[in-house]
Amino acid sequence: MNKLIAAIGLTWIAAGTAQAGGNVDAGKALTEKYACFSCHGKDYNTPIDPSYPKLAGQHRDYLAHALTAYQRGDGANGRNNAIMTGQVKPLSKQDIQDIAAYLHSLPTTLATHR
Res 63 pLDDT > 90:
yes
φ, ψ for residue 108, nearest 5 deg: -130, 160
CA distance 92 to 100: 12
Task: Indicate the average pLDDT of the chain.
Answer: 84
Expressed as residue numbers, the domain containing 63 is: 2-105
Q: Is 71 inside a domain boundary?
A: yes
Segment 62-84 mean pLDDT? 84
Supply the pLDDT for residue 75. 60
Residue 74 banded pLDDT, cuts 50, 70, 90: low
Contact 67, 99 (CB under 8 A): yes
The model's pLDDT over 41-57, given as tens digits with 9 standing for 90+, comes to 999 999 999 999 999 99
Q: ∠112-62-13 over CA atoms, to 5°?
A: 100
- Fill in the amino acid letter for 38: S
Q: Is 110 inside a domain boundary?
A: no
Residue 17 banded pLDDT, cuts 50, 70, 90: very low
As for how many domains the chain has, the answer is: 1
CATH code, 52 = 1.10.760.10
CA distance 113 to 19: 23
